[in-house]
Amino acid sequence: MASLAKRNSGLVQRRTEAIRSAAADKEKDSGGEEDEARRGEEDDDDKGDSKETRLTLMEEVLLLGLKDREGYTSFWNDCISSGLRGCMLVELALRGRLQLEACGVRRKSLLSRKVICKSDAPTGDVLLDEALKHIKETQPPESVQSWIELLSGETWNPLKLHYQLRNVRERLAKNLVEKGVLTTEKQNFLLFDMTTHPLTNSTIKQRLVKKVQDSVLEKWVNDPHRMDKRILALILLAHSSDVLENAFAPLQDDQYDLGMKRVHTLLELEPEKESAKPNANELMWAVVAAFTK
């Protein structure tokens, strides 16, 4: 009887030990998986060139327009306001939130087709989500041209003034401050003080400028439909916002002439024809048509 109890006791001890060992192994494995997942996330962050790739079209256009030391856009630039609203529409289209209504049998023109909300999933950007909310809730829908005017506040209808997105440049500049690209200062202009946002991370802007330059020089493909859609949109919208010249200013004369010549070949394209080609983003071409009509 005593020997049986002893054997049972030994069996229980071995089982207990085995359970503890298995639990320890499991904990070790799960810890290893967590460490590996954490390392994977860190690798993804390292891969990303994160700050540059996280910039929206609006932020990129504003960054091209900002004077590095002074921290504000040219007082003579009266195009950038509507250009930034066009950037919002294209950004939302590229993110799968907006699209144009079907062209129909009679094939409506780009500027007569209405903007439709395809998905109201949040983008994580306050300005984009605000614009998306307006577009989703508006019935009947409006055209691209109308939305650029409404979001800019350029409407004579007092019932539609609430669509205006206010302080867009300041809000975008604050986004860039949060991303470590700009800083915030106060500057005195004799009669008033103005908040400015000088460049603090020149590497990000240099990469942006080089990306624009390379797209029409070293990486020129002579076919807009083989170009990356975001870069194509950036070039066209930067021109509409009157800030594209800033990206080409540092170039040598021969490179400048070649780059601008290729930009003009893009500007001379007919949006109606380009939007009908396979895989074209119709809403982007509608925005281009609104600025070039």
CATH number at residue 220: 1.10.3630.10
For residue 252, the enclosing domain spans: 57-292
Q: What is the pLDDT of residue 101?
A: 94
**Residue 244 domain flag:** yes
Q: Cα separation of 152 and 86, whole Å?
A: 10
* Mean pLDDT score, 121-129: 95
Whether the predicted pLDDT of 220 surpasses 50: yes
Q: What is the pLDDT of residue 182?
A: 94
Q: Cα separation of 28 and 40, whole Å?
A: 18
**Residue 194 domain flag:** yes
Q: Cα separation of 125 and 284, whole Å?
A: 19
Mean predicted lDDT score pLDDT of the chain: 84
**Residue 211 domain flag:** yes
**Residue 41 domain flag:** no
Whether the predicted pLDDT of 64 surpasses 70: yes
**Residue 277 domain flag:** yes
Q: What is the pLDDT of residue 30?
A: 39
* Mean pLDDT score, 94-101: 96
Distance of alpha carbon 287 from the chain centroid: 16
**Residue 46 domain flag:** no
**Residue 24 domain flag:** no
Q: What is the pLDDT of residue 218?
A: 95
Count up the domains in the chain and report the number: 1
Q: What is the pLDDT of residue 104?
A: 75
Name residue 182's beta-bridge partners: 199
**Residue 283 domain flag:** yes
